[in-house]
Chain A
Amino acid sequence: RKEVEQDPGPFNVPEGATVAFNCTYSNSASQSFFWYRQDCRKEPKLLMSVYSSGNEDGRFTAQLNRASQYISLLIRDSKLSDSATYLCVVTRGGQNFVFGPGTRLSVLP
């Protein structure tokens, strides 16, 4: 079993839709959590950190459930520009960031 697993996707949604991605991690010692976005043939870029209390940044909401070892990302009112691969990232004490395989999102006009 991989240390970080994500919905395989791809997700094809119409503009304006709400879409949610799930991520699970196996190491209970994991301490920090992030969502990164990666456009085709580009480098990953930080989308948002994930805090225990949950956090929101505009149309994006991230949730963490430590008991279930589960992280989610919700995107509301999807835009064409949201089309990308979304990577779940888990760290242990700031070392060795472990990336999930990513979930590809296509927002359709």
Chain B
Amino acid sequence: DTGVSQDPRHKITKRGQNVTFRCDPISEHNRLYWYRQTLGQGPEFLTYFQNEAQLEKSRLLSDRFSAERPKGSFSTLEIQRTEQGDSAMYLCASSLNSLAGETQYFGPGTRLLVL
């Protein structure tokens, strides 16, 4: 257990529905990342926050995706009007960016299946 938690662990939804995932990072970590991973591939970067500021978004993050980290602690990732192609594992990672460098610690992921 890395100390990063995600909820729910599994989500099954019908195409067109909205879903929201939550990530609770390690408390002293200032950075929080969202990734998507499909079978046989490595995690693909979606977006990241430094404290409450969203500093970078991937082109993979279409306008149906939105992420927030309102108080610089937990984060939510919402997918609107889900499509079957959204089916994947959504991973959250947190890190402490310091002069010593940065190491990411991953949560267990939320596995999404869109029917």
Instruction: List A residues at the B interface (Cβ < 8 Å).
Output: 4, 32, 34, 42-46, 49, 87, 91, 94-102
Are A44 and B43 interface neighbours, CB within 8 A? yes
Total A-B pairs, Cβ < 8 A: 50
Q: Within 8 Å CB of B35, what residues of A?
A: 99
A44 and B105 alpha carbons, distance in the complex (Å)? 8
**Set of chain B residues within 8 Å of A42, measured between Cβ atoms:** 108
- A45-B106, A99-B43 known; 18 new pairs, CB 8 Å cut-off, are A32-B102, A34-B103, A43-B91, A43-B106, A45-B2, A46-B105, A87-B43, A94-B97, A95-B48, A95-B55, A95-B56, A96-B56, A97-B33, A99-B45, A101-B40, A101-B42, A102-B41, A102-B42
> What are 10 of the A-B contact pairs (CB < 8 Å)?
A42-B108, A43-B2, A43-B106, A43-B107, A46-B104, A49-B101, A87-B42, A95-B56, A97-B33, A99-B42
